[in-house]
Amino acid sequence: MVLTEEVKQNTYPAATLESVTFNGSSAISVEDDYYNVTAGNVVPQTMATGIPVYQNNNIVPNNNPYSNTTANSASLYKLDAATNTVPNKTGLGITLKVMAGDNINVFGISYHKKPAGNYVLASNPISVVNILDLFSATGLVSPKGISGTQISTQPGFPTTVTNLLNNQPAQTSTRPRAGINWVVLDEQFKWVSGGFDMVGDAGASTTGTFKNHVVPTISIPKNGYIYIYCSNESQYSVFFDNLQVIHKPGPILEETHYYPFGLAMAGISSKAAINLSNTYKFNGGSELNGSFDVNFYETACRLYDPQIGRFWQVDELAESNWEWSAYMFSLNNPMRFNDPLGLDPELGLNAGTAKVLDNVVVFSIPKSFWAQKRAFYRINDLIERQGVTIDMIQQESLRKMMERQDYDTKFRMRVGAMTREGDKAFLNAVSWFIPGGLITKARYLGYAAKLFKSKRGVAAANVMEQSGIELGKEILANWGNSGSADLNDAFTSVLTSKGKIGVKVIGSVYNSFVDASVGNGVDIPGVVGNKDMNAVGRDLIFDGIKTYAGAAAAGSASERTQLAIDVMIDQSKKIVSNAGEN
């Protein structure tokens, strides 16, 4: 909903019906753009015997540049139901688009002259469908493609004009059934209310009855339309002039209802007339492009189509959201998330966002781990800017969530730093023994295994790792059986036939070394800082080699290989354990 504090007034031209030229054109040339004017009903004032002289104004502004508001009226609009045709029973209709809270004022003049024998001829009633046909034919409603019959046959719609206008009185002997009337319909053209302001009662007078109509303010209860018109159902002449409408809009400029993924429900949405369109709506204020009826939202990085609930372009951060479609919007949960940049869904009002109330910040805590992680970064940024710390958060559940996330974040940073330092230490330790190209591939294979594990499950990662270990065993077996003194020959022989994934065995030993250090809370750089890493690496690997060679009688080649690998892994753990004790 779009609201405004602006106070404005829309004044429509008065229907003076004057055809004389003024300022280069005539008043009626503008007036018939607003009012339903039948040319044959416009008559000279002389036809209304005894009507007093008055000017072309209602003592309110008339913004028609071609209307001479200080000149005396010379034209009137005549209605007479004696011929029983719709144009002779109603006219000067005008339709306005209105919003709940708007106010309408109506002005006009009427005149009738009671015959000596009173009003005795029966009236010729106008039907509800006749009025609604005139309403549906106005320029504001005709594009909707709805007829008066369709409107009037809705359940609960009034079936008589008396009910349509909230008990308009019947003709009496001193007053014809004539007046200025209005009907209010909602956006679905259902009846809301109606009203009337009858012409003056002649009483005993037969010299003519003149009335200045000043209709009390009409308050609009629902968004929709108001149709204002003049009518006369009696078989006697009634004259109208200077019909004028003033529209005072309320605070509601626009009311839009949405389907969950942002498509507007046009049937129950509404927009005030004579206002610029608000195009910054759904999805945190993304701009709606309605050109050529494409109706998509323009985010900073992509175009979003609310009709299908998907972006048109691939997510630039698709690799970081690999579990989701690259075209998805708001994690398929638009009730909770927005994506105003088209890059990364952000939490909506019900999860992890702040509401500031007089120096108090209130947060709701999301449930999922990654939603909490996003909320942690937002809250942490907020409290840092305010110069406070996590322990100063008063809400206990929020403080505990922040403490958990803070610990997790710092732990991940520490492990990352240790891993980077461990990379350097390990590469230095074995670079003298194994060609640099092979160990580099082993290192990246380790990273690939971790990525594979995080995205495809532990079971699949274990299969991959076990395959690498089996090839590693074959490398050791090949070295032992060949009698060669150079382990590189064994690598070359096996990798030529099996592929370079065989070096995964080295990665396995290295990962065990790192895991042992992290598990024991030992900082790898601190452990190896005072040691000769070449010596550490040489001893570690040759322990395994010697174990293999010395276990010739212990069993098969595969058993000896596994024994060698177990020794190397145990040795790595002992290095870390001893360093921790020291």
Q: Is residue 320 a part of any domain in this protein?
A: yes
Residue 306's pLDDT is: 86
If asked whether residues 224 and 319 sit together in one domain, one would say: no
pLDDT tens digits, one per residue of 427-464: 444 444 444 444 444 444 444 444 444 443 444 344 44
Closest by CA position to 528, among listed 446, 427, 435, 432: 427
Residue 564 scores a pLDDT above 80: no
Q: Which residue has the higher pLDDT, 279 or 162?
A: 162
If asked whether residues 160 and 250 sit together in one domain, one would say: yes
Q: Is residue 448 a part of any domain in this protein?
A: yes
Phi-psi bin for 277: left (phi > 0), alpha (psi -120 to 50), beta? beta
Cβ(123)–Cβ(81) under 8 Å?
yes
Q: Is residue 53 a part of any domain in this protein?
A: yes
In the predicted model, what is the mean pLDDT of residues 31-42? 93
Q: Is residue 422 a part of any domain in this protein?
A: no
If asked whether residues 166 and 224 sit together in one domain, one would say: yes
In whole angstroms, give the CA distance from residue 537 to residue 341: 50
Query: Considering its fold, how many domains does the chain have in total?
Result: 4
Write the DSSP string, 208-274.
-EEEEEEEEEEE--SSEEEEEEEEE-SSS-EEEEEEEEEEE--SEEEE--B-TTS-B-GGG-EE-SS
Residue 439's pLDDT is: 45
Q: What is the mean pLDDT of the chain?
A: 74
If asked whether residues 69 and 168 sit together in one domain, one would say: yes
Single residue among 332, 347, 362 that ends a domain in this structure: 347
Residue 489 scores a pLDDT above 80: no
If asked whether residues 107 and 156 sit together in one domain, one would say: yes
Single residue among 367, 382, 414 that ends a domain in this structure: 414
Q: What percentage of residues in the chain have a pLDDT greater than 90?
A: 37
Q: Is residue 263 a part of any domain in this protein?
A: no
Residue 193 scores a pLDDT above 50: yes
| DSSP label of 277 | -
Residue 543's pLDDT is: 55
Single residue among 327, 347, 367 that ends a domain in this structure: 347
Residue 181 scores a pLDDT above 80: yes
Q: Is residue 272 a part of any domain in this protein?
A: no
Per the structure, the complete domain to which residue 505 belongs is given by: 431-581
If asked whether residues 452 and 405 sit together in one domain, one would say: no
In the predicted model, what is the mean pLDDT of residues 169-188? 94
Lowest mean pLDDT among 19-23, 208-212, 260-264, 533-537: 533-537
Residue 358's pLDDT is: 45
Q: Which residue has the tokens 């495809």?
A: 456
If asked whether residues 189 and 41 sit together in one domain, one would say: yes
In the predicted model, what is the mean pLDDT of residues 392-417? 78
If asked whether residues 241 and 363 sit together in one domain, one would say: no
Residue 418's pLDDT is: 64
Q: Which amino acid is at 44?
A: P
In the predicted model, what is the mean pLDDT of residues 323-351? 73
Rg over alpha carbons for the chain, rounded to the nearest Å, is 44
Write the DSSP string, 158-213.
--SHHHHTTSPPPP-SSS-SEEEEEEEEETT--EEEEEEEEPPP-TT--S-EEEEE
If asked whether residues 342 and 464 sit together in one domain, one would say: no
Residue 233's pLDDT is: 95
Lowest mean pLDDT among 391-395, 491-495, 553-557: 491-495
Q: Is residue 269 a part of any domain in this protein?
A: no
Report field, pTM of the whole predicted structure over 0.85: no
If asked whether residues 124 and 171 sit together in one domain, one would say: yes
If asked whether residues 410 and 484 sit together in one domain, one would say: no
If asked whether residues 539 and 409 sit together in one domain, one would say: no
pLDDT tens digits, one per residue of 198-257: 999 999 999 999 999 999 999 999 999 999 999 999 999 999 999 999 999 887 767 777
Q: Is residue 218 a part of any domain in this protein?
A: yes
In the predicted model, what is the mean pLDDT of residues 384-397? 79
